[in-house]
Chains A and B, each alone.
Chain A
Amino acid sequence: MADEVVLLDFWPSMFGMRVRIALAEKGIKYEYKDEDLRNKSPLLLEMNPIHKKIPVLIHNGKPMCESLIIVQYIDEVWKDRCPLLPIDPYQRAHSRFWADFVDKKVTEVLLKMGTTKGEEKEAGKKEFFEIFMILEGELGDKPYFGGETFGFVDLSLIPYYSWFYAIETLGELNIEAECPKIVAWAKRCLQKETVAKTLPDQKKVYEYVEQMRKRFGNG
């Protein structure tokens, strides 16, 4: 029986991008549906009644929600190729820990930077660099967080790179100057077709953010 895979998503969402990369890594054909988050489709509300958020993966009619849970599901179902998580339980726990760190810390600090002004925003910017320096420490001299191959942690973090131009322009910061290893790692990831084809252009993301700011009157 052919697999029917549908992804409910929103093109600038880093969470959606994680799922797109995972599907691409595994070579899975799927139908992409872009949601209008101001006017959520009945399908989205039916498939994710709890959070009403994207991304949602619908596999043979059954929904999966929360990006990192979806990625682990994809890894387990299509386990014959391109493993995203290590096999060893300790290494798996290590990967989950760092993906959780990215999920909690990076998202939170970006929200802080995007929705505050003055001193609070400056504190947010400082925290942003602290978090990325911790990530640089974890990366060390490895080509990827996963070691020699692109893996779960890389996938959870790389989508934020598509937001870097927006973050730098609006935040008046230079990420490469402070975190050169992270930018080098990101460019290495962008050499992978699955990542390059998935991540939207940084300028497009910036235009979207500007549009949001005008609409919601931020900053």
Chain B
Amino acid sequence: MAHEVVLLDFWPSMFGMRVRVALAEKGIKYEYKEEDLRNKSPLLLKMNPIHKKIPVLIHNGKPICESLVIVQYIDEVWKDKNPFLPSDPYHKARSRFWADFIEQKVYDTARKIWATKGEEQEVAKKEFIETFKILEGELGEKPFFGGEIFGFVDIALITFYSWFYTYETFGNFSIEAECPKIIAWAKRCMQKESVANSLPDQKKIYEFTVWMKKYFGMD
């Protein structure tokens, strides 16, 4: 039976990018539908009535929501190729723990770096660096968080890399200076076609953020 796979997404979303990377890793053909988040489509509202957010994966007409839930679903359905999670339950739990850590710690802090100023921004920068130093500790000397192979935690984190130029420019700091191992890891991930083809250019994200701040009067 041919699979019908549709992805409702928004190009700058790091959550949507995770699903794009996962689909590319598994070599899955799909239809990409760009949403206008100021004018959400009836399809999006029908497929994700609870949160009304992207990304939404629609597989043979059935919706799956929440990026890390979607990535695990993709891993379980297309299990014959490039597994994202280890098969051992303990290492699987560790991968889930670190993906959850990224969920809890990265987004809100990172957002404050470009969305706020003054004291709030300084606190956010400090927290961001602390979080990434913890992640550097977890990465250690491994090429990827998954070990020798790019996996679930790498997918959860790499998509934020497309926003690094934005954070650095608005925050006036260098992530590489503070966390060189993370940058080295990110560049290693970007050598993978599935990642390079799924992440937008960092400058494009920056331009989008500049526009968004003006549009929403956040300057």
Contacts and interface: CB of A to CB of B under 8 A. Distances in A.
Interface string A84-104: 000001101110110011000
A73 B134 contact: no
A97 B65 contact: yes
Contact of B72 (A50, A59, A96, A134): A96
Nearest to B90: A62
Nearest to A75: B89
Interface string A61-86: 01011100110110011000000000
B100 A90 contact: no
A100 B97 contact: no
B90 A100 contact: no
Contacts of A66: 96-97, 100
A90 B90 contact: no
Contacts of A96: 66, 69, 72
Interface of B: 50, 59, 62, 64-66, 69-70, 72-73, 76-77, 89-90, 92-93, 96-97, 100-101, 134
Nearest to A62: B90
19 contacts: A59-B90, A62-B90, A66-B97, A69-B96, A70-B93, A73-B89, A73-B92, A76-B92, A77-B89, A89-B76, A90-B73, A93-B69, A93-B70, A93-B72, A93-B73, A94-B64, A96-B69, A97-B64, A134-B50
A72 to B, nearest CB: 7
A90 B97 contact: no
A95 B191 CA distance: 35
Nearest to B62: A90
Nearest to B57: A93
A92 B93 contact: no
Contacts of A100: 66, 69
Contact of A92 (B50, B59, B76, B90): B76
Contact of B89 (A76, A92, A93): A76
B73 A92 contact: yes
A93 B64 contact: yes
Contacts of B100: 66, 69
Nearest to A101: B50
Contacts of A97: 64-66, 69
B178 to A, nearest CB: 19
A66 B70 CA distance: 20
A72 B96 contact: yes
A50 B76 contact: no
A102 B159 CA distance: 26
B93 A64 contact: yes
A172 to B, nearest CB: 28
A89 B92 contact: no
A47 B192 CA distance: 34
Nearest to A99: B69
A77 B89 CA distance: 6
Contacts of B89: 73, 76-77
